[in-house]
Amino acid sequence: MSSVRRPDHQHRPDHRADLRHVLTHLVTPLLMCIGMGLAYLGAFANPSPHHLPVAVVGSGSGAQVLAQSINDKSDGALDVHTVGSRAEAVDQLKHQEIFGAYVMDTHASRGGAQSTAGGTAKAAPELVVATAGSDTTATVVQKIFTPIAAQQGVPLKVTDVAPPAEDDPTGQGIFFLMVAVSIGSYASVAVIGGAGGVLPIRMRAMLAVGTSFVVGILGTLFAGPVFHIVDHGLWGLWSMAWLYSAGILLIGTGLHTFLKRWTTLGVMALFVMLNFTSAGGVFRPEMQNGFFASLHAFWNGAGFVEGTRSHVYFDGNGLAGHVWTLVLWLVVGFAVVGVAALAEARRRRAAASAAANATAVAAAAVAATVPERRPAHDAAAGDGTSGEAAEEEMEEAVGV
């Protein structure tokens, strides 16, 4: 007699619950992919100038006409005005009020004319830029003014009055330094919020501040002794790196109380998707659309990048405003931690109250199912009828 074989599918384990669990957790990386795509392509895919401030150097009608002509042809891409002298233009470049200055006649701007054997030399136009402020912006400005110089039949001379460090020829090393400090900061949030979740919020905040101290030191070492992208002012750089990192760590530590497993996504949205794209490290806000350009005015990454540029290359012009930006983000971090502490304290009180109520309910249930035994004299005293019956029984027993 042959035995009946069961179908194979009856022996296979059911993985549907496990599959749902995995698919649920895949939502986070997919949202990161969508967010990174929208942020990076939205910010960097089609850079073009928007009211980029430049200047034409000259006091005569020729300078006025050229500036107006460039303005008209740019259709809002440029904001061209005239300045009276090359020295004034250089001062505006170093204050980052303009990002290029076209000197129509370098002979006149330097206070005289040069002569050749055949007479006065032809005017040699010059473009003055400050590539430490943004190499990409300086390149765009050069592309704008090169054809204008070509119309005069002479090559355009380009002068860089604020070049970046020798080991950072593109000037983007500060941006990538910010990327390293950012990753060290928001990755530490996951550790402090996850592994440190059993600690009180006060201790987690102290860990965040201490971690930011170390991250700032590492960033300063990378920028100075290791890669030489900053050759002076390292104490100031460390101070800004610490402020920047501490703000991220405190905000992330506080948010973990509310976001839990979504903390990584939330911190990446704040300090990668919106932060890296608006920092001005690759393209300045004048080369981006209105959304990211507006974020540049107050986001912490822009505060760090522009503050470091100002400190290292532009003699501290505008530095105070960028430092205040970092300080305000640090204050926000302490505020978020404070709100998280109140929320956790309220949760603890609610849990303690629920535990006390559960204990009381359990005690009441036990009391209801186990009747209380009372002493005989208490029972007799509490019930007169029972007492009299007991007395009669006693009399009968002794024959009275």
Tell me the angle at which helices 201-221 and 319-369 cross, rounded to the nearest 10 degrees.
150
Confidence of residue 377 (pLDDT cuts 50, 70, 90): low
Q: 32: exposed, middle or buried (C-beta count within 10 Å: 0-12, 13-18, 19+)? A: middle
Residues above pLDDT 90, as percent of the chain: 65
Q: What is the pLDDT of residue 213?
A: 97
Out of 99-108, 285-294, 327-336, which region has the weakest mean confidence (pLDDT)? Answer: 99-108
Mean pLDDT of all residues in 133-152: 91
Mean pLDDT of all residues in 305-320: 95
Q: What is the pLDDT of residue 256?
A: 95
Model confidence pLDDT, tens digit, residues 353-372: 888 888 888 888 887 776 66
Q: 161: exposed, middle or buried (C-beta count within 10 Å: 0-12, 13-18, 19+)? A: middle
Mean pLDDT of all residues in 302-315: 96
Q: Which two tokens stand for residue 153?
A: 């039949």
Which amino acid is residue 104, in one-letter code? Answer: M
Q: Which two tokens stand for residue 201?
A: 């919020």
Model confidence pLDDT, tens digit, residues 83-127: 999 999 999 999 999 999 999 876 555 554 444 444 455 667 899
CA 182 – CA 251 distance, rounded (Å): 13
Q: What is the pLDDT of residue 195?
A: 86
Greater confidence (67 vs 377) lies with 67
Average predicted confidence (pLDDT) for the chain: 87
CA 175 – CA 181 distance, rounded (Å): 10
Helical residues (DSSP H) of the chain, grouped into ranges:
16-44, 61-74, 86-94, 106-109, 135-151, 173-194, 201-221, 234-259, 263-268, 275-278, 290-295, 300-313, 319-369, 376-382, 384-398
Mean pLDDT of all residues in 54-67: 91
pTM of this prediction exceeds 0.85:
no
Q: 208: exposed, middle or buried (C-beta count within 10 Å: 0-12, 13-18, 19+)? A: buried
Kindly report the length of the chain: 400
pLDDT at 393 over 60: no
Mean pLDDT of all residues in 262-290: 94
CA 248 – CA 135 distance, rounded (Å): 28
pLDDT at 324 over 90: yes
Q: Which two tokens stand for residue 158?
A: 């380009």
pLDDT at 82 over 90: yes
Mean pLDDT of all residues in 367-384: 60
Helical residues (DSSP H) of 75-172, grouped into ranges:
86-94, 106-109, 135-151
Cβ contacts of 123 within 8 Å, gap of 6 or more: 104, 105, 106, 107, 108, 152, 154
Model confidence pLDDT, tens digit, residues 176-219: 999 999 999 999 999 998 888 889 999 999 999 999 999 999 99
pLDDT at 317 over 60: yes
Contact between residue 140 and residue 159 where contact means Cβ atoms under 8 Å apart: no
CA 297 – CA 278 distance, rounded (Å): 9
